[in-house]
Structure 1
Amino acid sequence: MHIAQWIAAIPPLAVYVTIGLIVMIESLGIPIPGEIALVSATLLTIHPSSAVEWEYIAIAASAGAIIGDSIGYSIGRKGGKPLFEWLGRKFPKHFGPSHVATAERAFAKWGMWTVFFGRFIALLRIFAGPLAGALHMRYPKFLIANALGGIVWATGTTALIHYVGEVAEKWLSGFAWVGLGVALIAGVCVSLYVKHRAGKAMAAPAEEEPAELR
């Protein structure tokens, strides 16, 4: 099947629901590649044969991020620190003591903004909700940072990939797969740069008094 026919056959609703669920599951604290799925889905929007629209992908991802983080917050609030100790024993690669310590330092230094910036950093993205709950951050503060982070991350990522890909598609219209590949590489490079800058600031040891989380 030609790529144009394959893309045209994908039901847009299925794409939106799938992306929303993947992002929500990742935001719960389960380490799955939500950002890769978001980028991949957005790449579909640059092809003329696709009925998938990047605006709806952004809405679905935003909703998934906000809902998933809120559920993760509730889980962390109920489970507390013992939950992370148990996860560290079961999944040391993702929830080891060093990872938890890094996330806690970020919360101590930045408070609610850790939730906002954490949406752009893979490690903090899975920790933000549950750890905010475990540290008893006040929910109104958490919700504001959670909503802002989810919307900015989802909308910024999808808009960037879509418009960069659109330009690439015009220049490489005769090579559909090449156009998609160029868009993916450009999007990943920008995403990695943003993560590097944000991660460098957030992972630095706290030099100030812990921010008030309550």
Structure 2
Amino acid sequence: MEMFAHLIDFILHVDKHLMAFVQAYGAWVYALLFAIVFVETGVVVMPFLPGDSLLFVVGALCGLGLMSLPLAMTLLFVAAILGDQVNYSVGRWFGPRVFRWEDSRFFNKRAFDQAHAFYEKHGGITIVLARFMPFVRTFVPFVAGVAAMTRGKFTFFNVTGAAIWVGSLTLAGYLFGNIPWVQANLNVIIYALILVPGALALFGAWKARRAEAA
């Protein structure tokens, strides 16, 4: 329970904890950042690690000269790509083993065919947009693998989404993270980066369910 409380504190106050880590351990921060982004995107049971807010804070620290912007962005970009690739590969490994039991109690071939068709048609935009949605971005690559989305297509949109996600949020932090108003309201911005994309994802899912029911 205490460890969970520390994790929540880190997520909600990532700016303070990350700056303290940089000051205490220097270049080891790059290994920490790589590990956090890789695990959040690559391990389907770890969707609660900070993502968007972490990238923004990293950009702000680069703006202060405490970190190297090119090095940080490169490592985060690679970690995001590798994480999704691992997640997708795990899904591809589990998918055939689950769906070979056609019309089992929990899965059926028709559901697999529908999921596969969806990811072949809309998987690209789903993978890119999911990058900006906490929790969702952890599950989408796994489901894409289970649905047997073509690896080449998945990889293309994985790289594209990682570049847009890392580039936009890190540069936003670098350019705006140290403006006095932003500094004064950084906690609110971090909450927004965590809650707003998730709320939009839930609203979209609810709207899709209503449309399907209608």
Q: Residues 6 and 187 (structure 1 numbering): CA distance in 2 closer, same or farther, change over 3 Å?
A: closer
Q: List gaps (5 residues or longer) in structure 2.
A: 1-18, 99-114
Preserved contact between residue 21 and residue 64 of structure 1 (Cα < 8 Å): yes
Is 1:127 aligned with 2:139?
Answer: yes
- The aligned runs of 1:35-54 (5 Å cut-off) are 35=51, 36-47=53-64, 50-54=65-69
CA distance in 2, matches of 1:45, 1:15: 12
Q: CA RMSD in A?
A: 3.5
CA-CA distance at 1:181 after TM superposition = 4.5
Q: Which residue of the partner structure matches residue 35 of structure 2?
A: 21
Pick one of 147, 151, 161 that aligns with 1:149. Answer: 161
- The aligned runs of 1:80-99 (5 Å cut-off) are 80=95
Preserved contact between residue 114 and residue 202 of structure 1 (Cα < 8 Å): no
Residue identity over aligned pairs, in percent, reads 21
Aligned residues between the structures: 175
Q: Which residue of the partner structure matches residue 8 of structure 2?
A: none
Preserved contact between residue 85 and residue 155 of structure 2 (Cα < 8 Å): yes
- The aligned runs of 1:159-174 (5 Å cut-off) are 159-168=171-180
Pick one of 182, 194, 198 that aligns with 2:185. Answer: 182
Render the CA deviation track for 1:97-138: whole Å, top value 9, x for unaligned.
xxxxxxx69858732221111111113211122111100000
Counterpart amino acid of 1:51?
A: L
Q: List gaps (5 residues or longer) in structure 1.
A: 84-103, 172-178, 209-214
Q: Residues 78 and 136 (structure 1 numbering): CA distance in 2 closer, same or farther, change over 3 Å?
A: same
TM-score normalised to structure 2 length: 0.65
Is 1:77 aligned with 2:92?
Answer: yes
Q: Residues 20 and 8 (structure 1 numbering): CA distance in 2 closer, same or farther, change over 3 Å?
A: closer
Render the CA deviation track for 1:6-31: whole Å, top value 9, x for unaligned.
67734553222211111111111232
CA distance in 2, matches of 1:126, 1:8: 27
CA distance in 2, matches of 1:51, 1:135: 43
